[in-house]
């Protein structure tokens, strides 16, 4: 059943939220996370929707929004750190969009930076998603998750998945924190939880949220194994087992110099495959030629796209949804 909300057009959503909260309103939902445009707040005498896209006031009936995962529109996407134009997202974080097309709205990938460390103005919240992964690339961040005990610090190379609707909160960060966040679908709601306080203790180790278990991978844990291209090795994060095979994340590194450039072009048949360059430089080779990628750059390679990677020494983050 829908609820009536008064739509209020705003120019600055963040400032408007602060103003309404000072008047006793409580934030309920905000979206999208990387560049918020709409926020629902509950007040003492009315329910409102602050809308940066609206041109006039209105009263509307708002139904609970179902999770919609749009059809995939495959595309080769290269994002370069040098071309970054970050936007200010939820909780004041700087978001660099790694997939501007969102592959038809199915995926979002963000390189998120918090330049100035200290306490983060976050709150207990959860996301309506199919899948979400957070990887710490630089600096550190202190977080707390529902049923996972005391807050913990993520360091470079650490990774978590946030199962659908698991409550969590970002508490503090170092200067120049960098994380990579992958989400599906691209457009999803973030809901604030005003009732649960974190930490809330340790829950059952096999607890699942919409069929997914929480995963915390600590850098250095896990075994290295051959990757799909000769001369490269990979360290999986153990996400596949926790998601019923929905996704996997891994570190990928060069190994044997003499086998790194066999000249053979390879393909994959995955729904989604993103490579983020953590360190070093590489050449991405396909039928159209060669492209250089360096630290902070990323590439999304669609299924069936013949390619190979050439590098002397490089480390990548790879996130895959087999489909």
pLDDT of 81 above 80: yes
Q: What is the pLDDT of residues 170-196, one digit of tens each?
A: 999 999 999 999 999 999 999 999 999
What's the predicted TM-score (pTM) here? 0.94
What does the H/E/C string look like for the chain?
CCEEEEEEECCCHHHHHHHHHHCCCEEEEEECCCCCCEEEEECCCCEEEEECCCCCCEEEEECCCCCCCCCCCCCCEEECHHHCCCEECHHHCEEEECCCCHHHHCCEEEEEEECCCEECCCCCEEECCCEEEEEEEECCEEEEECCECCCEEECCCCEEECCCCCCEEEEEECCCEEEEEEEECCCCCEEECCCCCCCCCECCCCCCECCECCEEECCCCCCCEECCCCCEEEEECCHHHHCCCCCEEEEEEECCHHHCCCCCCECCCCCEEEEEEEEECEEEEECCEEEEECCCCEEECCCCCCEEEECCCEEEEEEEECC
Poorest-pLDDT segment among 60-64, 77-81, 131-135, 261-265: 261-265
Q: Which percentage of the chain shows pLDDT scores above 90?
A: 89
Q: What is the pLDDT of residues 192-210, one digit of tens each?
A: 999 999 999 999 999 999 9
pLDDT, position 198: 99
CATH number, domain 225-321: 2.60.120.10
Structure tokens at 283: 């050449």
pLDDT, position 260: 53
* Confidence grade of residue 10 (pLDDT, cut at 50, 70, 90): very high
Cα Rg for the chain, rounded, in angstroms?
Answer: 21
pLDDT of 259 above 60: no
pLDDT, position 261: 58
Contact present, 113 and 96 (Cβ < 8 Å)? yes
Q: Mean of the pLDDT values across residues 72-78?
A: 98
Poorest-pLDDT segment among 252-256, 286-290, 316-320: 252-256
Q: Mean of the pLDDT values across residues 246-259?
A: 85
Cβ count near 233 (within 10 Å): 16
Structure tokens at 88: 């200010």
Alpha-carbon distance of 98 to 16, in angstroms, equals 28
CATH 2.60.120.10 fits 77-217, yes or no: yes
On average, the pLDDT of the chain sits at 95
Contact present, 247 and 131 (Cβ < 8 Å)? yes
Q: Is 304 left (phi over 0), alpha (psi -120 to 50) or beta?
A: left
Alpha-carbon distance of 146 to 208, in angstroms, equals 12
Q: 3-62 architecture in CATH?
A: 2-Layer Sandwich (3.30)
pLDDT, position 85: 80
Q: Mean of the pLDDT values across residues 300-322?
A: 97
pLDDT of 258 above 90: no
Same fold, 77-217 and 225-321: yes
Domain boundaries, the chain: 3-62, 77-217, 225-321
pLDDT, position 163: 99
pLDDT, position 178: 97
Q: CA-CA distances (angstroms) from residue 46 to 49, 120, 186, 229, 255?
A: 10, 29, 30, 58, 61
pLDDT of 323 above 90: no
* Confidence grade of residue 86 (pLDDT, cut at 50, 70, 90): confident
Q: What is the pLDDT of residues 33-68, one digit of tens each?
A: 888 999 999 999 999 999 999 999 999 999 989 999
Q: Mean of the pLDDT values across residues 77-90?
A: 86
pLDDT of 28 above 80: yes
């Amino acid at each position: 059943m829908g609820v009536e909300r008064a739509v209020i057009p705003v120019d600055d959503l963040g400032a408007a939220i602060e103003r309404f909260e000072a008047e006793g309103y409580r934030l309920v939902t905000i979206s999208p996370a990387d560049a918020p445009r709409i926020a629902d707040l509950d007040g003492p005498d009315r329910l409102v929707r602050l809308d940066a896209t609206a041109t006039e006031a209105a009263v509307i009936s708002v139904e609970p929004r179902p999770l919609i995962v749009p059809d995939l529109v495959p595309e080769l996407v290269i994002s370069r750190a040098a071309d970054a134009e970050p936007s200010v997202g939820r909780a004041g974080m700087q978001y660099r969009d790694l997939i501007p097309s969102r592959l038809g709205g199915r995926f979002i990938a963000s390189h998120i930076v918090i330049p100035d460390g200290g306490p983060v103005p976050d709150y207990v919240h959860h996301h309506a998603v199919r899948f979400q992964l957070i990887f710490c690339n630089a600096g550190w961040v202190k977080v707390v998750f529902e049923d996972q005990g005391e807050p913990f610090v993520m360091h470079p190379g650490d990774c978590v998945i946030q199962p659908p609707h698991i409550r969590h909160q970002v508490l503090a960060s170092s200067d120049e924190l960098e994380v990579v966040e992958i989400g599906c679908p691209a457009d999803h709601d973030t809901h604030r939880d005003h009732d649960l306080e974190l930490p809330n203790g340790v829950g059952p180790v096999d607890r699942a949220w919409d069929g997914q278990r929480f995963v915390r991978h600590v850098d250095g844990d896990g075994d290295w194994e051959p990757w799909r291209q000769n001369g490269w090795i990979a360290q999986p994060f153990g996400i596949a087992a926790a998601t019923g095979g929905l996704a996997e994340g891994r570190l990928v590194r060069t190994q044997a110099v003499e086998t790194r450039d066999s000249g053979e072009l390879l393909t994959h048949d995955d729904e989604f495959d993103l490579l983020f360059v953590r360190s070093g430089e590489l050449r991405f080779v396909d039928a159209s030629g060669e492209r250089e990628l360096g630290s902070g750059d990323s590439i999304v390679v669609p299924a069936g796209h013949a390619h190979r990677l050439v590098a002397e020494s490089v480390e990548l983050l790879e996130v895959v949804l087999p489909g």
